[in-house]
Amino acid sequence: MSHSGLSSKAGSKMLDEKQYDVILDAKEERCPMPLLKLKLALAKMSEGETICVYATDSGSLRDIPHFLSLVGLPLLQQGELEGTFFFVTCKREL
């Protein structure tokens, strides 16, 4: 799976969801639920798997990148598609 690093805007281009092992739809969830659901999903994932999180709560723009930084996981991609934020990371051994 190749990722071209961070992307702040994806425009109208749709994500290819087939490239992710886990899709977490946290749209319409209010803070802190997108982050909590991400933590739970990561706990169930295997090393090397990728996850794409969708969220509409603007608090996710701060919370998810900060959490990933704290736990040492990469933020492979981040952007916004039609009012929905997305975040991509990969689980690795810490």
**Active-site residue list:** 31
* Residues pairing with 78 in the sheet: 87
